[in-house]
Amino acid sequence: MKKIYYSIIKELCINCGACVVISPKSFTIDENKKVIESKKYTENLEEIESILLAKKVCPTGAIVTEEI
Ligand code: SF4
């Protein structure tokens, strides 16, 4: 089964919120209004696809993924 690790490079993220809109199960906004990952790994195919789309759309290239 396909599983991916994903992460936001904090120094690159401009908190635009696009990833939260595209993949609300994978990204969220914390109490300091910073966009963060909801978790670090997922095996859910639908979620993986949305994370990869968010990665493509992210204006600063702040999302990194790795298939594991
Ligand atoms: S899309 Fe990219 S820049 Fe925008 S909040 Fe998500 S990680 Fe940050």
From the alpha carbon of 57, which atom of ligand 1 is closest? Answer: 1
- 29: enclosing H helix or E strand: strand 27-29
Could you give the CA distance from residue 4 to residue 12 in angstroms, rounded to a whole number? 21
Phi-psi region of 61 (alpha: psi -120 to 50; beta: other; left: phi over 0): left
51 Cβ inside 6 Å of ligand 1: no
> For ligand 1, atom 1, which residue shows the shortest CA distance?
58
The pLDDT of residue 38: 96
Scanning the chain, the segments in alpha helix (DSSP H) are: 18-22, 45-57
Q: What percent of the chain has pLDDT over 70?
A: 99
Phi, psi of 7 (to 5 degrees): -155, 155
The pLDDT of residue 47: 97
> What's 4-67's CATH class?
alpha beta
The pLDDT of residue 64: 98
Confidence of residue 10 (pLDDT cuts 50, 70, 90): very high
From the alpha carbon of 63, which atom of ligand 1 is closest? Answer: 7
pTM of the model: 0.95
Domain boundaries, the chain: 4-67
